[in-house]
A and B are shown apart, each in its own frame.
Chain A
């Protein structure tokens, strides 16, 4: 090698060394933050992309909970330190969610993660959390598989699809017992992502176990569906007594419209949450949505019964113009559960030692046992099993009522606020 070239090699090496040293030095000597004034929670949500609408809803619930906690004096065991939320946008994509989780954990130094709604994204986000040993609270993903992975840092407050499916079938039993055996044959229509597909599987399993006949299962692709005519035709031909539906927003609207113009009159349409309880759906479906049942995790009329909860919803509505719903209320609750755990953890560790503090939060979550009156959800409370699943959660069943076009709780009976209408009136009976 010639001398000139050699010196150039040396020059390259020198540049690299200088840059590396400068960057490392700058990073090492960065001014450190002052004593604990705030505790950061990382939230990963679909804030852009196809599910941005739901993301917006979830984010409101989180924002609102944080404001309430901070207004009430923040984290008392940390001298009133405030909770601050740092958001990561998953864009609805598993890989982006994972990268955002890493950023929140290592760059933003959050003490815990919360999110991420879509089960596929929650899978990768929680994998990152597990790897970095950061507690993750998942208030809003319902894939049963999430809590079957043996993770130690993952906690889910919401009941999952298996629980819901079982409850749906119990509801059928309840109807058959109370109103005479009207339902024997059930058809299922579902969108084909993991959520819809797994829900349909669980439905079939529980329906068969309870002696119902599943006469037709139809799936469709929500992102590209332009018409559900043929789908409803084939279902109508199978002549089911009840239709179970798992849909997102626009396809849920389309589904109801199609049932109407095809004059398809099952005695019961029972939906699995999601699209059917989305504010856009409720706003846009109009009177065609009356009498349809949906599984819910939460409903506004539960708040009406309890003054403390009504006050919360009134403030929420004053701020955002909509009632709390299953999505926003679950994430609202998630923040509170995390808050209780942080208060507990603060007794044993300080956020200055991040690793220890995260571990303390994890332990606090694992040991948490919140009574029903500490949360706004219609659950018996919050207590996690060894898999991280809240065993005190349950769903409710609501029916959209013609009186006010809102969903009202009808099941379980002890939470019901109105008498349900069953069978659903036919389209002809409703007129127009």
Chain B
């Protein structure tokens, strides 16, 4: 089959657009992983809660997804803090396996609790601008995806500024670099962990909100997004927020381009293979420096 330059360009654009949403989910995961050294298996399900918050606010209160975005962040942030207090705090010193089983239990509770509460049904968030499409001579971009891309950039920038320019942000980073030293410096480690976990899942929830504007939502949707987020985080370099953002986009593009050149069925195989190769060749990830 002949692939033209325009085809490749289109695939790249589409990959960047979906990738920017992967990035948000992955950034949350990276923050938690970096600061607390916890792999949060429930990350995708916090994202799903963000998507459903948006859906219900639109259904019940007629709130536009863009307006429900902060609500979605706040609600999931609160739930994250609660999870941190009740669950994560108790397993911080436990072996990796106990941590994994605990976050896996949280995953089961959120995902299937949502399924019990909302039913397994597929839903869509539909607004007045859902069908609006930006037309260019060589491709088309749905407005919702363009918005999602822009907001993901803004959120990434805000998170970066928060972590590098504010006292609390610096304290969180200090905690991630050296728990003991940070504690001696008078940083309340427990509070930092609560914040990091809350913000981490909150950012993913924002990803869920943005995703819901152009992707059908259902309670079990978190699974695959979480898997992708893992790949992205490792790919981008453990704990690196910036790396997570860029590699989210790289993974999105890889998927789209390999669907074009190889076969759509095998596009995930390519993404997973690439992942294994990258961690073998560059085990610290592409952007291996810590935050």
In the complex the two chains form, is A253's CB within 8 Å of B265's CB?
A: no
Q: A432 at the A/B interface (Cβ < 8 Å)?
A: yes
* Residue in B closest to A254 when the chains form the complex, CB atoms: B216
Among A56, A226, A237, A254, the most chain B Cβ lie within 10 Å of the Cβ of: A226
* Residue in B closest to A430 when the chains form the complex, CB atoms: B131
In the complex the two chains form, is B140's CB within 8 Å of A262's CB?
A: yes
Select one of B123, B131, B228, B260 contacting A233, CB under 8 A. B260
Q: Mark B75-93, 1 if CB is under 8 A from A, else 0.
A: 0000000000000000000
Question: Given known contacts A50-B220, A284-B216, is B7 in contact with A237 (CB within 8 Å)?
Answer: yes
Select one of B218, B220, B264 contacting A230, CB under 8 A. B264
Question: B118 to chain A: closest CB distance in Å?
Answer: 11
C-alpha gap A254/B214 in the complex (Å): 8
Q: DSSP majority for the A interface?
A: helix
Stretch at the interface among B10-18, B31-39, B157-165, B172-180: B10-18
C-alpha gap A253/B131 in the complex (Å): 13
In the complex the two chains form, is B142's CB within 8 Å of A261's CB?
A: yes
Stretch at the interface among A106-114, A162-170, A217-225, A304-312: A217-225
Q: B268 at the A/B interface (Cβ < 8 Å)?
A: yes
Q: Mark A287-304, 1 if CB is under 8 A from B, else 0.
A: 010000000000000000
For B14, what are the chain A residues with a Cβ–Cβ distance below 8 Å? 227, 229-230, 233
For B121, what are the chain A residues with a Cβ–Cβ distance below 8 Å? 53, 280
Q: A96 at the A/B interface (Cβ < 8 Å)?
A: no
Q: B62 at the A/B interface (Cβ < 8 Å)?
A: no
Question: Given known contacts A56-B119, A261-B140, A284-B216, is B265 in contact with A229 (CB within 8 Å)?
Answer: no
For B18, what are the chain A residues with a Cβ–Cβ distance below 8 Å? 226-227, 229
Question: Given known contacts A224-B224, A227-B256, A288-B131, is B141 in contact with A218 (CB within 8 Å)?
Answer: no
Select one of A56, A229, A249 contacting B216, CB under 8 A. A249
In the complex the two chains form, is B123's CB within 8 Å of A284's CB?
A: yes
In the complex the two chains form, is B215's CB within 8 Å of A254's CB?
A: yes
Q: B122 at the A/B interface (Cβ < 8 Å)?
A: yes
For A262, what are the chain B residues with a Cβ–Cβ distance below 8 Å? 140
For A52, what are the chain B residues with a Cβ–Cβ distance below 8 Å? 115, 120
In the complex the two chains form, is B268's CB within 8 Å of A227's CB?
A: no
C-alpha gap A218/B141 in the complex (Å): 22
For B135, what are the chain A residues with a Cβ–Cβ distance below 8 Å? 263
* Residue in B closest to A427 when the chains form the complex, CB atoms: B133
In the complex the two chains form, is B259's CB within 8 Å of A250's CB?
A: no
In the complex the two chains form, is B216's CB within 8 Å of A221's CB?
A: no
Q: B191 at the A/B interface (Cβ < 8 Å)?
A: no
Question: Given known contacts A227-B14, A261-B133, is B264 in contact with A53 (CB within 8 Å)?
Answer: no
For B1, what are the chain A residues with a Cβ–Cβ distance below 8 Å? 234
For A171, what are the chain B residues with a Cβ–Cβ distance below 8 Å? none
For A253, what are the chain B residues with a Cβ–Cβ distance below 8 Å? 122, 124, 216
Question: B276 to chain A: closest CB distance in Å?
Answer: 17
Q: Mark B1-24, 1 if CB is under 8 A from A, else 0.
A: 100000100110010001000100
Q: A192 at the A/B interface (Cβ < 8 Å)?
A: yes
For B122, what are the chain A residues with a Cβ–Cβ distance below 8 Å? 53, 249-250, 253, 278, 280-281, 284
Q: Mark B50-87, 1 if CB is under 8 A from A, else 0.
A: 00000000000000000000000000000000000000
For A224, what are the chain B residues with a Cβ–Cβ distance below 8 Å? 224, 227, 268
Within 410-428 of A, Cβ neighbours of B (below 8 Å) are at none
Select one of B11, B22, B126, B224 contacting A229, CB under 8 A. B11
For B227, what are the chain A residues with a Cβ–Cβ distance below 8 Å? 224
For A133, what are the chain B residues with a Cβ–Cβ distance below 8 Å? none
Q: Mark B246-265, 1 if CB is under 8 A from A, else 0.
A: 00000000011101100011
* Residue in B closest to A287 when the chains form the complex, CB atoms: B131
For A281, what are the chain B residues with a Cβ–Cβ distance below 8 Å? 122
In the complex the two chains form, is B268's CB within 8 Å of A231's CB?
A: no
Q: Mark A37-69, 1 if CB is under 8 A from B, else 0.
A: 000000000000010110010000000000000
Select one of A53, A192, A230, A288 contacting B259, CB under 8 A. A230
Q: A286 at the A/B interface (Cβ < 8 Å)?
A: yes
For B22, what are the chain A residues with a Cβ–Cβ distance below 8 Å? 226
In the complex the two chains form, is A226's CB within 8 Å of B260's CB?
A: no
Q: B225 at the A/B interface (Cβ < 8 Å)?
A: yes
In the complex the two chains form, is B131's CB within 8 Å of A432's CB?
A: yes
In the complex the two chains form, is A56's CB within 8 Å of B10's CB?
A: no
In the complex the two chains form, is A53's CB within 8 Å of B124's CB?
A: no
Question: B122 to chain A: closest CB distance in Å?
Answer: 4
C-alpha gap A168/B244 in the complex (Å): 47
Q: A239 at the A/B interface (Cβ < 8 Å)?
A: no
In the complex the two chains form, is A219's CB within 8 Å of B265's CB?
A: yes
In the complex the two chains form, is A53's CB within 8 Å of B119's CB?
A: yes
In the complex the two chains form, is A260's CB within 8 Å of B131's CB?
A: yes
Q: A70 at the A/B interface (Cβ < 8 Å)?
A: no
Question: B196 to chain A: closest CB distance in Å?
Answer: 27
Among B256, B257, B259, B268, the most chain A Cβ lie within 10 Å of the Cβ of: B259
Q: A257 at the A/B interface (Cβ < 8 Å)?
A: yes
Within 123-144 of B, Cβ neighbours of A (below 8 Å) are at 123-124, 126, 131-133, 135, 140-142
Nearest 7 Cβ contacts at the A-B interface? A230-B259, A229-B14, A250-B216, A284-B124, A52-B120, A53-B120, A261-B142
**Additional A-B contacts beyond A260-B131, A284-B124 (14; CB < 8 A):** A56-B120, A221-B265, A226-B18, A226-B224, A226-B225, A230-B255, A230-B264, A230-B267, A233-B11, A250-B215, A257-B214, A262-B140, A286-B124, A286-B126
Task: Provide a sorted-by-A list of 20 A–B residue pairs whose CB atoms are within 8 angstroms.
Answer: A50-B120, A52-B120, A220-B264, A221-B268, A224-B227, A226-B215, A230-B14, A230-B255, A230-B259, A233-B10, A233-B11, A249-B218, A250-B218, A253-B122, A261-B141, A261-B142, A278-B122, A284-B123, A284-B124, A286-B124
Please report A residues at the B interface, Cβ cutoff 8 Å. 50, 52-53, 56, 192, 218-221, 223-224, 226-227, 229-231, 233-234, 237, 249-250, 253-254, 257, 260-263, 278, 280-281, 284-286, 288, 432
Please report B residues at the A interface, Cβ cutoff 8 Å. 1, 7, 10-11, 14, 18, 22, 115, 119-124, 126, 131-133, 135, 140-142, 214-218, 220-221, 224-225, 227-228, 255-257, 259-260, 264-265, 267-268
